[in-house]
Chains A and B, each alone.
Chain A
Amino acid sequence: MLLKIEDLCVSIKGKEILKEFNLEINRGEVHAIMGPNGTGKSTLASVIAGKDIYDVTSGKIIYKDRNLLEMSVEDRAREGIFIGFQYPVEIPGVSMNTFMKTAINEIRQYRHEEPLTAAQFLKLMEEKKKVVELTAKLSNRSVNEGFSGGEKKKNEIFQMAMLNPELSILDETDSGLDIDALRVVANGVTHLRSENNAIVVITHYQRLLDYIIPDKVHVLYDGKIVKTGNKELALELEEKGYDWVKQEYERKKELQNGKI
């Protein structure tokens, strides 16, 4: 098992967001997580990445048989975790080249590999730019600075391609994309899909799932996964919305409470 989340409880500023959340992911799988706004999808991604503004009050995250919560942000990345952020940040003055070169060489150093030479690095950049059909010259552009919404999302997939992660979590990478950009992002992801890697896509739309057929579709609500299905579930959610899932969940909860 690549990732196992057990009874994870997360709060921010005293507010409980994830409540006894559970999820298991194996290599080679693609999971989709859907759910109404504000239910904690991005929170989940951030906690896995190691953002320290969240309080993990209880529960466990086991990644590659290690306690993920004890690892530093950078070590998680070096161990193959990649988050495609919902809102990628702009970093004026830090060029994409420097950013990626530093990241890759630090990861390689962590793995006791030789750093890439300038030529190898540039070759890799060119190769991976093609994956997301990025034509812009990146060398002297600052990270995400002045990028359009679509370019920022493509840039996340580009970084994913460069870093070749084992577990990718793409947080609404498909939001705000036109059909072309969506196709590019989806192709990029498909290209990177392999037996060895797992991908989690957090999305509101099933249109991305036309390209990336998920093994499982989960609905996050009230801090936990309340329903799991296959691709058909995504279609159903898009057609009917979340109300029926919510009702189903509340009824179950009442029943349980009644029993107690």
Chain B
Amino acid sequence: MEKFNAFIKNSFNKIRASLPANNNEKVNSFRQVAIENFLKKGLLLGKLENRDNFPIEKEISDDYEFQLQPTPYQPLDSIFKCKIKGIASNTFAFFNGWYLHSGNPITIFPNGMIIGSLIAAIECYPDLVFSRLGKHRLAGNNSLNALNEAFFTDGIFIYIPDNVVVEHPMQVVNLISSDQKLLVNNHNLIMVGKNSNFSLVYCNDSIHSENSFANNVTEIYIEENTIVNFCKMENKDAKSIMLEHVVVEQKSHSQFLSNAITFNAGYVRNQFHVTLAEPFAEARVNGLYLVDKKQVVDNHVFVNHAAPDCTSHQLYKGILDDEAIANFNGHILVSQDAQKTAAFQTNRNITLTDEAKITTKPFLEIYADDVQCSHGATVGQLNDTEMFYLRSRGICERNARMLLMYAFAVEVTSFIDIINLRSRLNEMIQRRLKGELSLCDQCFLNCSDRKNFSFEIDVSLL
């Protein structure tokens, strides 16, 4: 990793003056603090849990390129077929770390919502942005975040004012496609005011980007009484590396529901860091990973109960085929004042082969005495008795397996209230299990064009 750190140091000196918003004092010092933090620690991959299982160090090289200019504008449709029909009302896209737009980097909605490029927002709404940007550092910093903050080119900025209920989810697509070996840092900032309700579908895709390295940070601040639904999906190339850190801070009576769904990965690391900062906040941090071949997925969840009367649930489920590797690390911290905490964690895995590897590690750190906490982890195969029962009614082995895997997987999505979104996700899960998703050369959301297959589970009836 020495070489990588030296590479980063050199690169920063070389390109710092070309990074976006380089005329902004605050941004410059933000980057400066970040690079210093990074260089102090270096890329702390050595500290990753169970690293023996993860050959990521071998995959990270020291010859990445940084794309310092946006690619000339092309409509998203022309490069990427993504259709969440009737689900997302608006789609915002990033291409190799740059906001994709035709002259309008920021959209202001009639209800006061502001959505668009973070770099543009820094210019137009500096006070709003700097009231929060990087605040998560207080909540625990790490070197990957520092790397992101030093180099970020752009990211989505979302501001939802108080008392706004956004009926349809919004969508953000992070797309990487390049002949070069790109290191892309997106930094997202999402601020949701009081008594509001907001849903975001956040997709990370790559097309023809074999060796890209994405290192994203998403900060989400949720005010009192507000509900935020965050659905995050990955469908990545086999050789791409994607590290994503989502940092969430919740005020009183707020609700946060996240689903981190990994359909295909090279190496994907999803890290959620949720702080329940005020009483009666509720977090449900869920995840699903369906991986095969030599894919690696690494889920880290840290739920920080910093205030009393808060509730958190973690439900992570995975199906691993071939030689896929998964890791789950769930950490629940209950601070001394966080009395009447209820915190639950479940991680369940199905391995379809002997070669698939799963490591699951719960970690409960509890300093309050009046708490209700539980954790459970299982690794198993499909249930023989259930398989037999299905087959004894005429269902072939393949479809019986499908039905059971599907049933296993959709427990995770069952917590999503937005019916359209849930059924579209379930459709994708089904396609992934049938081995079709990985065949789609582009977006996995591009389902509507595909031919019907002879066997279909009727999702609408489930």
Contacts and interface: CB of A to CB of B under 8 A. Distances in A.
B78 interface: no
Contact of A83 (B385, B392, B396, B404): B392
Contacts, number: 92
Interface in A18-72: 49-51, 72
B6 interface: no
Interface residues of B, number: 26
B403 interface: yes
Q: Could you say which of B389, B393, B408 has the most chain A C-beta atoms within 10 Å of its C-beta?
A: B393
B394 interface: yes
A107 interface: yes
Contacts of B403: 94, 98-99, 102
Interface in B397-417: 397, 399, 403-404, 406-408, 410-411
Contacts of A97: 458, 461-462
A139 B454 CA distance: 22
B457 A98 contact: yes
Contacts of B390: 91, 94, 99, 103
Contacts of B386: 89, 91
A127 interface: no
A139 B407 CA distance: 15
A101 interface: yes
Contacts of A118: 458, 461
Interface string B157-170: 00000000000000
A89 B395 CA distance: 15
A89 B383 CA distance: 11
Contacts of B392: 49-50, 73-74, 76-77, 83, 85
B397 A74 contact: yes
Nearest to A53: B384
A88 B389 contact: yes
B389 A89 contact: yes
B348 to A, nearest CB: 12
B404 to A, nearest CB: 7
Interface string B441-462: 0000000000000110110011
Contacts of A88: 389
A94 B391 CA distance: 14
A85 B393 CA distance: 11
Contacts of A72: 391, 397
A106 B394 contact: yes
A153 to B, nearest CB: 14
30 contacts: A50-B392, A72-B391, A73-B388, A73-B391, A74-B397, A76-B392, A78-B394, A89-B385, A91-B386, A91-B390, A93-B411, A94-B404, A95-B461, A97-B461, A98-B462, A99-B393, A99-B403, A100-B393, A101-B458, A101-B461, A102-B403, A103-B393, A103-B395, A104-B394, A105-B455, A106-B394, A106-B395, A106-B396, A106-B455, A140-B461
Given A93-B408, A103-B390, 15 more contacts: A49-B388, A73-B391, A74-B395, A78-B394, A89-B389, A93-B406, A93-B410, A93-B411, A94-B407, A97-B461, A101-B461, A118-B458, A139-B461, A140-B461, A142-B407
**The 5 nearest A-B residue pairs measured at CB:** A93-B407, A77-B394, A73-B391, A103-B393, A107-B394
Interface of B: 385-386, 388-397, 399, 403-404, 406-408, 410-411, 454-455, 457-458, 461-462
